[in-house]
Amino acid sequence: MLNLTDGRYDRNCQGFARRDFLKVGALGFGGALTLADLLAAKAQAGANGGDGFTDKSVVFLFLQGGPSHIETFDPKMTAPAEYHSIFGETQTSIPGVTFGAHFEKMAKIAHKMSVLRSYASGNGGHTYQGVASGNNKMKATMGSIYSRVVGTNDNNTGMPKNILVVPEAIDAEMKMQSNFETSALPTLTHPGDLGATYGAFNPKGGGVLKENMQLRLPQERFDDRRFLLSQLDRIRRDADASLDSVDKYQQQAFEVITRGVSQAFDLSNEDPATIARYDTSGLFTNHDVQKWFDMRRATNLLGKQMLMARRLCEAGCGFVTVSDCGWDMHSNNNSPKNLGAMEMLGPQVDHAVSAFIEDLEERGLSDKILLVVTGEMGRTPRINKNGGRDHYGSLTPLVFSGGGLPMGKVIGRSDANATQPVTERYSPPNMLATIMHTMFDVGRLRLNQSVPRDIIDVIGDGTPIKELV
């Protein structure tokens, strides 16, 4: 939001700050951009986006550290005690299907999700880029591929098309460990061979987005619409002259501010009842979870991260990656014994994801936004000596919800001890293809001459999960 201020006064007679006197968004002069405006703009952008584009968005919830496939969506209670879920199971809304005991809310709406039990990331370590890129030949993660096709910013709203939402986007005082910020985290949204231009926009708690641009005007000029517009044009011209000298992040931040969609990053604009519905901060304290080395990047902010993701999609973003950390569960004194971390992180995902799915349905957005939940790997079927589970790439949790895909499916089956798929094995290229076929009409996209052939190959040559197409 661009704020216009009278330079002579800080307060008016009612006590309002002059910087609140007038706010201008690109789609509405003298008032805030409304949700209806944003949705209409997004629909129009989809209609004019070119052959093969759709108006669907993706929220990619990545559980970093490696969530146990057994404690989440394949509890295997018929297996011996050293294999099956430590915490038991809960019946879902799909007859005969159970989830792990910490996922009661998701279990009640399992018919609104499709769960894979034969998905294997093939990754045995904390490397995110391969999974998030679907192991494509360009090594570009999915959000970067998407933004390379549709553009880095929405043509109407200015919203970046590829955004990463970390806990700092909710709490600017939250500071992730530096080595994770500088090395591990960027690989989750790495643009690969596409170059930095197509990396994810990361607001990280605000920064430029929180610093309202101000144009100081004499009071008498506020009522002069022609003069006001000329000043706005001047700001744009001055900025355009220097955009070549700033990086893509700064340019995108400028677009967000001047086009009036910075409010999408500000949860204070949301209905308090909706914020309360998503809020996971009461489930545990950040101190309790972060005192463990393997969980030092975990927070209780996931609910609000998911709420922000919904708002960003409504405002024109096409691919939102949500990072939730702390899922490294060896139980070797770096995380609680006997998979104790599950008792904090499991209910948080359960609450945040169920709130997100139900909220989308009530807003009529279920078919427009696809939610994908996964991690870089699963966990060893056999419990280790500390009651934890170690790295394991042969089975990995994967959940889809919405996006117009068929729901209520449990796809594939693992063996008796949840060690390997016994039905068709799906892998990251299948996940990539499923997501890309949701976001694009691939047949039409092949005819779009503006899309490079190597990008078309990455999007179109993979095989989607057949039960979801």
Decide if pLDDT at 132 tops 90. Answer: yes
Decide if pLDDT at 202 tops 60. Answer: yes
24, amino acid identity: V
What pTM value is reported for the model?
0.84
The pLDDT score that the predictor gives to residue 1 is 45
Better-predicted residue by pLDDT, 17 or 61: 61
Residues 400-405: what's their mean pLDDT? 98
Decide if pLDDT at 214 tops 90. Answer: no
β-pairing, 369-374 vs 2-6, is unpaired
Residues 402-424: what's their mean pLDDT? 98
- For residue 463, what pLDDT band results from cuts at 50, 70 and 90? very high
Q: What are the beta bridge partners of residue 409?
A: 114
Strand ranges across the sheet with 409-411: 162-165, 319-324, 57-63, 369-374, 398-402, 114-116, 409-411
Q: How far apart, in Å, do the first and last CA atoms of the chain sit?
A: 40
Alpha carbon distance 458, 469 (integer Å): 18
- DSSP structure class, residue 15: S
Decide if pLDDT at 180 tops 80. Answer: no
The pLDDT score that the predictor gives to residue 229 is 58
- DSSP structure class, residue 182: I
pLDDT tens by residue, 11-39:
443 344 433 333 433 333 333 444 444 44
- For residue 254, what pLDDT band results from cuts at 50, 70 and 90? confident
Residue owning tokens 């901060």: 281
Decide if pLDDT at 125 tops 60. Answer: yes
Domain ranges within the chain, ordered by starting residue: 33-206+260-468
Residues 6+ apart with CB under 8 A from 360: 310, 366, 369, 371, 402
Q: Count Cα neighbours of 79 within 13 Å in the Cβ-side half-sphere.
A: 21
CA gyration radius, the chain: 23
The pLDDT score that the predictor gives to residue 224 is 61
Q: Are 383 and 371 in contact (CB under 8 A)?
A: no
Better-predicted residue by pLDDT, 10 or 229: 229
Residues 314-325: what's their mean pLDDT? 96
- For residue 431, what pLDDT band results from cuts at 50, 70 and 90? very high
pLDDT, mean over the chain: 85
Q: Is 139 helix (H, G, I), strand (E, B) or coil?
A: coil
- CATH number, span 33-206+260-468: 3.40.720
